[in-house]
Amino acid sequence: MMKYTFLIHHSEQEHFLEKIGAMGIIDVTINDWKPNEEESLLANDITLYRQTIDKLSLFKTIHKSDPKLLSAVEIDKSQEAYVKNEKEVLINFSLLKSYDTPQEIIDNYHKAATRLDQLNALISKTRKEKEELEIWGAFDTKQINRLGTIGIHLHFFICGAKLYNPEWEEQYTILKVNEGEHFIHFVVVTCDDEPAPALNGATNIKTPSADFKDKEREIEELFALVKEKSLIVARCTLGIPLLEEKMSDMKEVLSENMIRNTNQKAAEGNIIIIEGWAPEEKVPTIDAAFDSEPDIITIKDKPTLEDNPPVLLKNNRFSRLCEMISKLYSLPNYHEIDLTPFFAPFFIFFVGMCFGDLGYALLIFVTVVLIYFLRKDKSIRPILSLVMWCCGATMLMGCITGTFFGLSLAELPAFKDVKFVGQMDLFSFALIVGLFQLLYAMFVKAIARMKYMGFKYGLSTLAWALTIITCGAAYLLPEMGITGFSMDSPIFTTIVIVLLLINILFSDPSKKNLLANIGGGVWDLYNSITGLLGDTLSYIRLFALGLSGGIIASVFNDLAIGMSGDVPVLKYIIMAIILLIGHGINIFMSAIGSFVHPLRLTFVEFYKNAGFEGGGREYKPFTKKKK
């Protein structure tokens, strides 16, 4: 990034903002912005518009009419914009007309959405009341009231099946309406001269004010209102481009206000000082644009350690897929290295280790490829591409372990000569891969510190990484039959002592006090030793998730075979249902775990050992549409 400082006469401020807004490449620094009442309202409106656009987009996705479905319900013939079938509501948006202004869209949407929430709650309540009344069957409430006027009263009771006393039928006129396994619903008929029935164990409920037929009519009326309000929301979805344009205009106004209210002033307010940042490759464009502006003084500087320039990530095509993962945690600050290309291969491979089933990977891969090419929305393609890479890693692990939808390929005759990796081998492999990533992170940290802070600032981390490698070599070489370098050899002891001294003495080169530096170095070394063990063991989760997913899959396979019975056709139907539900649940749970745990290893173990600080702000150039 290149730092620009512009000195502008106050009369040229509007012209300057128009110019850099049209260029769209300068990120203007905003310092200590305290919004006034107008700016607060504007920020709230932008948030409201963003939320409304998101909700309208979701509504359109849910109710978007499929031409085949529309044909099935003859929507084109009836020219109905709203058709409700047994499973879903279909809306033909092409038959609707959008509202004219953004404010009209906002007002109508929020009124309709609020009313829809109320209607859906009423429908749920009325359906429950209908289910309760269905037990009593169809009756006329007017007739019940008429019987009451002539001295005949109906009392409605509910009683547990075991608490019902047959002797009640000798004392009262009882009509059993519904006799279930757990409850009995009955009516007691009395006259004016008879006492109110006292039935111990039975609950006297209020006389229903309507029967279930009335509730059905209420539900139909509510659905008619839902249709009316849904069509209003559907009309609002057609105005999404208007809302986006209005929101963009409001963002421009807010950005201009922020620049005006936070810039520095000099010479009694006559001179305005504006600071901005631009990528170095854009410098010739900016210089050429302001060479013809003699009234605007331009000063260029390289960023210093005290500056906080915006961050613009620059990665290759593969690493860019994982930038969305980086942004979930934090962008790197400008003065540290971007870790995205360093963790990207590990993240994808770890997802494959956690999922680990060849059949699951093939199923998801085919599904994602179809979505990739059939879906017109290209904004989700980076996510789909990342999923395809993760499926590739999962296929690799599935081939290594020989797992296919929970089946062990090693048990099939076709693969009897293939040597697959056992589960305990994966346990050791997970620890080795984890230790390798930790060492890799330490080397990245050492090189980055040497580059950005100076050579001596990376020596401590480099020495600690080499100490671990030296100890590993001293343990493994004798095991491999290579003599001359072991834990008890003098050369090993000398190398480790020298590396540990470097680690301690250069733990914080900025300290001038030698004793303080040694004390801090010993403390850091203690934390490094204890932290290394915990960090390495944390990678066992890669083995555990892969193992648990495979076990659950095999359990569902056994259930499908054991519970399917012996009826020829029904057997395979039951088996298919168990397999679909079981493997569906397992895929869902494995997918969540396979994303969350590699994410945790990246953000905790890898970031910590790589010395990641974060806190960077994204490069967002000030832009203004041409009017």
Examine the fold and report which residue of 207, 223, 249 is the final residue of a domain before the chain moves on: 207
Residue 535 maps to a domain:
yes
What 8-state DSSP symbol labels residue 249?
H
Q: How confident is the model at residue 76 (pLDDT cuts 50, 70, 90)?
A: very low
Q: How confident is the model at residue 89 (pLDDT cuts 50, 70, 90)?
A: low
Q: Which two tokens stand for residue 346?
A: 């590990």
Q: How confident is the model at residue 626 (pLDDT cuts 50, 70, 90)?
A: low
pLDDT at 382 exceeding the cut of 80: yes
In angstroms, what is the C-alpha Rg of the chain? 36
Question: Do both 415 and 555 map to the same domain?
Answer: yes
pLDDT of residue 64: 63
CB burial class (10 A; 0-12, 13-18, 19+) of residue 152? middle
Examine the fold and report which residue of 177, 207, 237 is the final residue of a domain before the chain moves on: 207
pLDDT at 73 exceeding the cut of 90: no
* pLDDT digits 0-9 by tens, 537-596: 999 999 999 888 888 999 998 888 888 777 778 888 888 999 999 999 999 999 999 999
Distance CA 612, CA 329 (A): 11
Residue 42 maps to a domain:
no
pLDDT at 323 exceeding the cut of 80: yes
Residue 280 maps to a domain:
no
Q: DSSP letter string over 333-399?
A: PTTS---HHHHHHHHHHHHHHHH--HHHHHHHHHHHHHHHHH---GGGHHHHHHHHHHHHHHHHHHH
Examine the fold and report which residue of 185, 207, 229 is the final residue of a domain before the chain moves on: 207
* pLDDT digits 0-9 by tens, 16-41: 888 888 888 898 888 777 777 888 88
* pLDDT digits 0-9 by tens, 608-619: 999 998 888 899
Residue 304 maps to a domain:
no
Residue 175 maps to a domain:
yes
pLDDT of residue 259: 82
C-beta contacts of 405-411 below 8 A and 24+ residues apart: 405/357, 405/359, 405/360, 405/553, 405/557, 405/583, 406/357, 406/359, 406/550, 406/552, 406/553, 406/554, 406/555, 406/556, 406/557, 406/583, 406/586, 407/359, 407/554, 407/557, 408/554, 409/358
Top mean pLDDT of 30-44, 114-128, 341-355 is at 341-355
Between these two residues, 538 and 508, which has the higher pLDDT value? 538
Residue 167 maps to a domain:
yes
Residue 12 maps to a domain:
no
Domains in the chain, number: 2
pLDDT at 331 exceeding the cut of 70: yes
Distance CA 312, CA 314 (A): 6
Among residues 438, 439, 461, the alpha carbon closest in space to that of 450 is found at 461
∠ CA(413), CA(415), CA(416), 5° rounding?
A: 65
Residue 200 maps to a domain:
yes
* pLDDT digits 0-9 by tens, 409-422: 888 888 888 888 87
Residue 403 — left, alpha, or beta (φ > 0 → left; ψ -120 to 50 → alpha)? beta
φ, ψ of residue 166 to 5 degrees: the values are: -60, -20
Residue range(s) defining the domain that contains residue 490: 337-609
Q: How confident is the model at residue 70 (pLDDT cuts 50, 70, 90)?
A: very low
Contact yes or no for 624/18 (Cβ under 8 A)? yes
* pLDDT digits 0-9 by tens, 452-462: 888 888 899 99
Question: Do both 203 and 343 map to the same domain?
Answer: no
H or E element in which residue 70 lies: helix 67-72
